[in-house]
Amino acid sequence: MDVEQRIEDLDLRLKRIELRLSHGDSDSGAEAAVWKASPDDVAAPMFDLAVIGKSLLILGGAFLLRAATDTAAMSKPAGVAIGLIYAIAWIVVAIRAVRAVRRTAGIFYAVTAAIVAYPIVWEAATRFGVLSANMAALVLAALSIALIEAGRRYAFPSLAWIAATGATCVAILLAYATKALIPFLVELTIISAVAFVLHAKAAGWLLAIESDLLAILLLILALLDPASDGRATVAACLLLFAVIWIAVSPRAMIQSAAASLIGIVGSSALVLPAPAMTILWGVAALIAAEIARRGTSPESKVTFLVQSAMWGSLAAIGGGLFSFAGSALINRGEARSIPLAALGATALCLVAFLRARNIVLLGIALCGAASMAIYGLSLSIGAASEGVHALVNTTVLAAASIALAAIGRRWRVREASQLAIVLLVLTGAKVVAQDLRTGTAAMMFIALAVYGGAMLAIARIRASSRAVAS
């Protein structure tokens, strides 16, 4: 190394030390900034003929090893092992070039070494039969994580992108070739989680989205084949997928919330009966609401409020709450009774709302309570005609609107006041669509009187709320 390069190397090291001292060694912001530090301070040409020529020689050496393996000059396991060692050696050379502030050379050597290493894993698992799908996934994970860590340590983010690209392409191709999704789903999940931990968030997001899509594909394939004996294995894999992301949730909160939703919903849908599945999802809505209530950052509050709403919606769907509500409103509840799972989902969503204010959870609880009230009232008075049933619906919905407005005023629950107006508008649309079509003139008089009275009551409640506020 000449004198100029030594001076530039010392200058680069001083910049890194100043960055760490300004942020603190333990601060995650300083660690993340290391990825962005160390710009290419050396005015090296982008197309260095010497570097390109050496890269071509690296590829030539790889083809020589490939030819020796093909002609049985060396055994296939030995050829694969030597090829990987050869690629790793050139990755080390690339890192040394970066440390010597020759970043262009480092990029060329790293890309060339990756072009050698990742296809070797592909051929070892397919053409040579040296690696099983599980072993190939393990090698891919180890190689990619080592590249990401080297990129973090030496402020060389290109290594993380090389690792993400190589791991993605080979994992997808091997999953298709071997018909084994599970090993490569776990591999991509682990690599992406480690990328977030090491602050390579851009590459981590690319890998995370791919792992999410693979998890969804795995779930769909398992649901399409109900007679498969591997449903328990798929459920265990999806649960592991969720656990890995939950473990790194402070570093990737949004992705952790999405992955836990995919993993837990998928695993429970595969192995649990519908009532147990509904209760589990309702409890998950309650837990997410509690985490949102205790959250210290706006991101965590919003993330877990959204997740709680999604868990509650899934519990309502799984428990048959929405289908029961439609039956109670339209078919007079004649063909079915109140499902216990729907009752449980309603109660859990209400409790979750009380822990963290979420208008979606309140709406689900209101849907369950109103539909059950309509069903019970219709049975008690024997509402045989459509007109009487429509009037019962209008009365219950109007009363629910007034109750929500009163709750919003009495306990300052803004979500209840907002939902009262929404429900009042929907009740008006129902009066036009159902009561006007099925009711007699006398029933229409009663329905309009009930609806108008509800509007007047809510208007007075809102007026008194404004007066108190002023």
Q: Which residues of 190-208 are buried (b: 16+ CB within 10 A; e: fewer)?
A: bbbbbbbbbbbbebbbbbb
What pLDDT, on a 0 to 100 scale, did the predictor assign at position 468?
Answer: 66
- Between helices 274-294 and 340-355, what is the axis angle to 10°? 0
What pLDDT, on a 0 to 100 scale, did the predictor assign at position 13?
Answer: 66
What pLDDT, on a 0 to 100 scale, did the predictor assign at position 38?
Answer: 46
For 47-113, give the DSSP string.
S-HHHHHHHHHHHHHHHHHHHHHHTTSS-HHHHHHHHHHHHHHHHHHHHHHHHTT-HHHHHHHHHHH
For residue 249, which of 202, 214, 213, 300 has the smallest C-alpha distance? Answer: 300
Give CA–CA dist 329/111, Å, rounded.
Answer: 63
The three-class DSSP label of residue 271 is helix
For 15-59, give the DSSP string.
HHHHHHHHH-TT-HHHHHHHHH-----S---SS-HHHHHHHHHHH
Helices within 126-247 (DSSP H only)? 133-153, 158-178, 181-197, 201-224, 231-247
Domain map (residue ranges) of the chain: 272-351, 383-470
What pLDDT, on a 0 to 100 scale, did the predictor assign at position 363?
Answer: 96
Q: What is the dihedral of CA 48, 151, 35, 192, to 10 degrees?
A: 130
Give CA–CA dist 73/4, Å, rounded.
Answer: 46
What pLDDT, on a 0 to 100 scale, did the predictor assign at position 101?
Answer: 76
Give CA–CA dist 199/148, Å, rounded.
Answer: 10
pLDDT tens digits for the chain (470 residues)? Answer: 455 556 666 666 665 666 555 544 444 444 444 455 444 444 444 456 777 788 888 888 888 888 888 787 788 999 999 999 999 999 999 988 888 878 888 888 999 999 999 999 999 999 889 999 999 999 999 999 999 999 998 888 889 999 999 999 999 999 999 999 999 999 999 999 999 999 899 999 999 999 999 999 999 999 888 766 688 999 999 999 999 999 998 889 999 999 999 999 999 999 999 999 999 999 999 999 999 999 888 888 999 999 999 999 999 999 999 989 988 887 654 546 888 999 999 999 999 999 999 999 999 999 999 999 998 888 888 756 788 888 989 999 999 999 999 999 988 899 999 999 999 999 999 999 888 888 788 989 999 999 999 999 999 999 887 776 66
Give CA–CA dist 201/430, Å, rounded.
Answer: 49
What pLDDT, on a 0 to 100 scale, did the predictor assign at position 30?
Answer: 46
Give CA–CA dist 42/383, Å, rounded.
Answer: 85
What pLDDT, on a 0 to 100 scale, did the predictor assign at position 18?
Answer: 61
- The secondary structure element, H or E, covering residue 464 is helix 441-469
Give CA–CA dist 397/405, Å, rounded.
Answer: 12
What pLDDT, on a 0 to 100 scale, did the predictor assign at position 171?
Answer: 95
Give CA–CA dist 27/24, Å, rounded.
Answer: 5
